[in-house]
């Protein structure tokens, strides 16, 4: 039997007994097979022996990471709850402060990549609260833990290999690189493969460090969004209202029509004026679950009422027209709520 390394012994001790009992004994052979596979793959891709040795040194298995991975979709906020949490007065105030603190850097990013300061600030605020959120997990621990779990082993193996290449190329101590439980790091929470493709050395020091260098982080975010096709001359969303009987199957952002076509279906500005008539493609997004709940309530009230006149008319539907930049945001984070929050926060930081 292979002798356990100190790191693995420590990892075994941090797993609560209840967790071990639920899952069965820790599979040491599987753990070592994963380590051996990573070493072989890294060596075959030219990663230095020093980085390989540092990567497999004192690895810890973190049960809380597995719990986070399995529970991430259990709690769902309504759109309004999400916006209240993410586009808070405090975050807006902090963003305006950062705009005053980094005017030169923000201007350089805009000049080079076409990303307006308020847009970069919105992503920064959403991803790390302007750098205030400190990631606690050593990324090597996070990736080995998730690889061991097996649900997305190939994906996390690729992330670890990419991280090793980043550490090798930029002469970083891989064991000093910390991030989220899912492997995102730095001010804009890049995963390693994204950083490998879009990372930028902003100050010419020969290193790309999106954790400790705000310049590298901003330039990398600007480069990423620019490569996604960001258009600074277009807005992200437009608030609109729809008729109460609007077909809600069209409100998930996937149905895309021209603005005149939406107008023909009754879409107008919140004040009732017409939306622009240009031949621009857009989708429509709102909290469909909330609309369904309202309709069910209205239906129940109508059924309980003896006279239709006693029932208040169904309210109009509030929604967002979603323009091409909205869908570029979704390539960063594939969430309608996230993209709407970015749009709202950016508007507050103009």
Domain ranges of the chain: 237-322
* Unique residue bearing structure tokens 């307006």: 116
Backbone angles phi, psi at 302, to 5 degrees: -65, -40
Residues 118 and 225: their CA atoms lie apart, in Å, by 14
Instruction: Give residue 22's pLDDT.
Output: 43
Residues 225 and 332: their CA atoms lie apart, in Å, by 8
Q: How buried is 266 (Cβ within 10 angstroms: 0-12 exposed, 13-18 middle, 19+ buried)?
A: middle
Closest CA to 123 of 147, 91, 167, 145: 91
CB contact at 8 A, 133 and 175: no
Residues 221 and 170: their CA atoms lie apart, in Å, by 18
For residue range 5-41, what is the model confidence (pLDDT) as tens digits?
444 444 444 444 334 334 457 889 999 999 999 999 9
Instruction: Give residue 3's pLDDT.
Output: 36
Q: Which of 92-96, 276-280, 298-302, 311-315 has the lowest mean pLDDT?
A: 298-302
Q: Which of 246-250, 263-267, 292-296, 323-327 has the lowest mean pLDDT?
A: 292-296
Stretch 32-53: mean pLDDT: 96
Stretch 278-303: mean pLDDT: 76
Q: Please determine, for residue 249, whether its predicted confidence score (pLDDT) is greater than 70.
A: yes
Instruction: Give residue 309's pLDDT.
Output: 52
Stretch 51-61: mean pLDDT: 92
Structure tokens at 317: 């539907």
Stretch 120-141: mean pLDDT: 93
DSSP-derived pairing of the beta strands 281-285 and 178-179 = unpaired
Instruction: Give residue 1's pLDDT.
Output: 32
Beta bridge partners of 281: 258
Instruction: Give residue 25's pLDDT.
Output: 75
For residue range 67-110, what is the model confidence (pLDDT) as tens digits?
887 765 445 789 999 999 999 999 999 999 999 999 999 999 99
Instruction: Give residue 293's pLDDT.
Output: 66
């Amino acid at each position: 039997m292979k002798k356990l390394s100190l790191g693995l012994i420590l990892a075994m001790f941090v797993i609560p007994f209840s967790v071990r009992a639920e899952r069965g004994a820790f599979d040491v052979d599987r753990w070592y097979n994963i380590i051996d596979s990573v070493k072989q793959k890294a060596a075959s891709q030219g990663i230095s022996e020093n980085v390989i040795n540092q990567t497999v040194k004192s690895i810890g298995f973190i049960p809380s990471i597995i719990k986070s991975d399995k529970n991430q979709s259990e709690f769902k906020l309504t759109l309004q709850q999400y916006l209240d949490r993410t586009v808070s007065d405090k975050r807006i105030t902090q963003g305006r402060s950062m705009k005053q603190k980094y005017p030169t850097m923000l201007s350089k990013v805009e000049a080079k990549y076409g990303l307006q300061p308020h847009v970069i600030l919105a992503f920064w605020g959403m991803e790390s609260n302007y750098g205030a959120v400190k990631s606690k997990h050593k990324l090597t621990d996070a990736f080995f833990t998730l690889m061991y779990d097996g649900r997305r082993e190939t994906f996390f193996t690729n992330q670890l290999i990419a991280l090793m290449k980043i550490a090798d190329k930029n002469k970083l101590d891989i064991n000093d690189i910390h991030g989220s439980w899912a492997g995102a790091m730095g001010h804009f929470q890049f995963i390693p493969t994204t950083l490998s493709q879009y990372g930028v050395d902003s100050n010419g020091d020969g290193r790309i460090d999106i954790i400790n260098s705000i310049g590298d982080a901003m330039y990398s975010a600007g480069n990423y969004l620019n490569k996604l096709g960001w258009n600074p001359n277009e807005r992200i969303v437009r608030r609109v209202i729809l008729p109460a009987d609007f077909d809600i199957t069209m409100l998930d952002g996937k149905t895309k029509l021209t603005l005149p076509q939406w107008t023909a279906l009754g879409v107008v500005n919140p004040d009732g004026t017409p939306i622009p008539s240009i031949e621009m493609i857009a989708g429509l997004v709102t909290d469909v679950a909330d609309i369904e709940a309202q309709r069910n309530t209205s239906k129940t009230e109508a059924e309980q009422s003896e006279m239709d006149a006693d029932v208040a008319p169904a309210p109009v539907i509030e929604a967002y027209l979603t323009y091409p930049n909205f869908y570029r945001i979704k390539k960063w984070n594939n969430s309608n709520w996230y993209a709407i929050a970015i749009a709202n926060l950016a508007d507050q930081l103009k």
